[in-house]
């Protein structure tokens, strides 16, 4: 009986060792479910790196709208906030794969529990590839917390009030390279604005170019532009009131994403964010960074609230 038990134990040990070895080879990402997050005592919040006013690092501390929101969420869950910095890949789908559900091939176990600043968009959520497969079925998009839009700021010493982008046929405008404002302005009016579009690494650098007199205006997301205006209150730059003809997506809801097997965590976070939106704390959070806040269109549809 003793020998039989010995051999059984040996076989079990070999089987377990093989399984552990296989797990190491596959390097599977950990399943950070709601219970696992609470038990661990921390929440890893995925945020884009060097992306003020949403998320950036200052003196080693995570700052910005999304960082502060992540702290609020973690606090109400009763866990510690931990930033998970995201360097953007070529597409949003790549970012979701690398940081939410699969992991980068060089660091498969480095995943966020929740990713901030994901478009809350049904078309994106149910996008299909050429074979009819859903491209984003591994993630759940939820918790819209802001409505974002495009914005121009300009130098009134060089421009009259901007009522149409046609003025940029004759005046240089700064944009972040390879972004929608770059493509939009470069192709508008049959490309007649293209020569006036000046490229910068980010909106902050474009704003510096405007302060230096290299460009007369800057186009970016409204919160980015608001943040730069608030950082330079005495330099006379002002926001424009023009629209963007031909640009189909002028406003959009911003939400979050979790892995599709972690829906319970998503529900818990969504309930917290919902309270922050309804109670006015979200608006106050944006105001801290000089940014105007618009309630997501989701609330306008579901609750009858009016977005700004």
Omega prior to 53 cis, within 30 of 0: yes
Average pLDDT rounded to a whole number, residues 238-254: 92
Tokens of 14: 């070999």
Phi, psi of 33 (to 5 degrees): -70, 175
Average pLDDT rounded to a whole number, residues 54-77: 98
Residue 82 confidence (pLDDT): 97
Q: Cα Rg for the chain, rounded, in angstroms?
A: 23
Residue 298 confidence (pLDDT): 82
208-244 pLDDT per residue, tens = 999 999 999 999 999 999 999 999 999 999 999 999 9
Q: Confirm if 158 and 308 have CB atoms less than 8 A apart.
A: no
The dihedral region occupied by 9, where left means phi > 0, alpha psi between -120 and 50, and beta the remainder, is alpha
Check whether 102 has a pLDDT greater than 80.
Answer: yes
According to DSSP, residue 200 is labeled E
The structure's pTM equals 0.85
Lowest mean pLDDT across 155-159, 164-168, 301-305: 301-305
Q: How confident is the model at residue 90 (pLDDT cuts 50, 70, 90)?
A: confident
Mean pLDDT of the chain: 88
Q: Confirm if 102 and 28 have CB atoms less than 8 A apart.
A: no
14-42 pLDDT per residue, tens = 444 444 444 444 566 678 999 999 999 99
Give per-residue burial for 103-113: e unless 16+ CB within 10 Å, then b. Answer: beeeeeeebbb
């Amino acid at each position: 009986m003793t020998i039989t038990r010995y051999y059984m134990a040996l076989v079990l040990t070999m089987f377990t060792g093989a399984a552990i070895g296989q797990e190491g080879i596959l390097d599977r990402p950990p399943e950070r479910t709601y219970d696992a997050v609470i038990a661990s005592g921390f929440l890893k919040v995925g945020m884009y790196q060097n992306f003020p006013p949403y998320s950036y690092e200052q003196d080693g501390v995570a700052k910005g709208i999304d960082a502060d929101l992540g702290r609020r969420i973690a606090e109400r869950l009763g866990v510690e906030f931990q930033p998970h910095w995201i360097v953007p890949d070529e597409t949003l789908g790549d970012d979701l794969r690398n940081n939410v559900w699969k992991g980068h091939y060089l660091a498969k176990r480095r995943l966020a529990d929740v990713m901030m600043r994901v478009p809350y968009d049904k078309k994106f959520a149910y996008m299909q590839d050429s074979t009819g497969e859903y491209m984003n079925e591994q993630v759940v998009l939820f918790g819209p917390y802001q409505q974002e839009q495009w914005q121009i700021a300009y130098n009134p010493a060089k421009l009259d009030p901007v009522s149409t982008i046609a003025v940029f046929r004759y005046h240089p405008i700064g944009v972040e390279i390879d972004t929608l404002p770059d493509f939009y302005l470069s192709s508008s009016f049959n490309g007649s604005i293209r020569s006036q579009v000046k490229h910068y690494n980010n909106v902050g650098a474009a704003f510096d170019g405007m302060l230096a007199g290299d460009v007369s205006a800057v186009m970016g997301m409204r919160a980015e532009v608001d943040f730069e205006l608030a950082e330079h209150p005495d330099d006379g730059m002002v926001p424009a009131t023009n629209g963007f003809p031909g640009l189909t997506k002028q406003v959009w809801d911003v939400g979050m994403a979790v892995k599709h097997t972690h829906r319970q965590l998503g529900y818990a976070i969504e309930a917290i964010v919902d309270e922050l939106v309804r109670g006015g704390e979200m608006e106050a959070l944006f105001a801290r960074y000089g940014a105007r806040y618009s309630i997501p269109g989701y609330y306008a549809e579901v609750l009858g609230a009016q977005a700004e």
